[in-house]
Structure 1
């Protein structure tokens, strides 16, 4: 069963309402040392490397439409592309 959150639904609504089309996205995966705020959100008791996924979605005219940064515990995830 397909499950969509409110953010995804709003994103789809916005694209349709404004008649916009996504063209492509750019994702960068890197390993970084987290600042105190990221450490707190990830509930890390000690400072360790984390994985940072930076994602930018572009419209057909190359205008950036969405920018996200997502942090992951480096020892708890694997990525497949």
Structure 2
């Protein structure tokens, strides 16, 4: 039997980029207007390294609304 690496704890926020385990420092707030109401915000978390690539992915689809420090994600 092999042990798996522990996942993030309940107070840890991890980057949403595939395979990244870095601590998130940015909150990318977005919505898909085809399925979400205009005031709804979904959040992807990003480390410094993946902020631009995740933002670009959402922006190309016109989903990205704003990027804020992770501690301001709910404001």
TM-score (norm 1): 0.29
TM-score, normalised to structure 2's length? Answer: 0.31
Q: Kindly indicate which of the two structures has a greater share of residues assigned to helix.
A: 1
Judging by fraction of residues, say which structure has more strand: 1
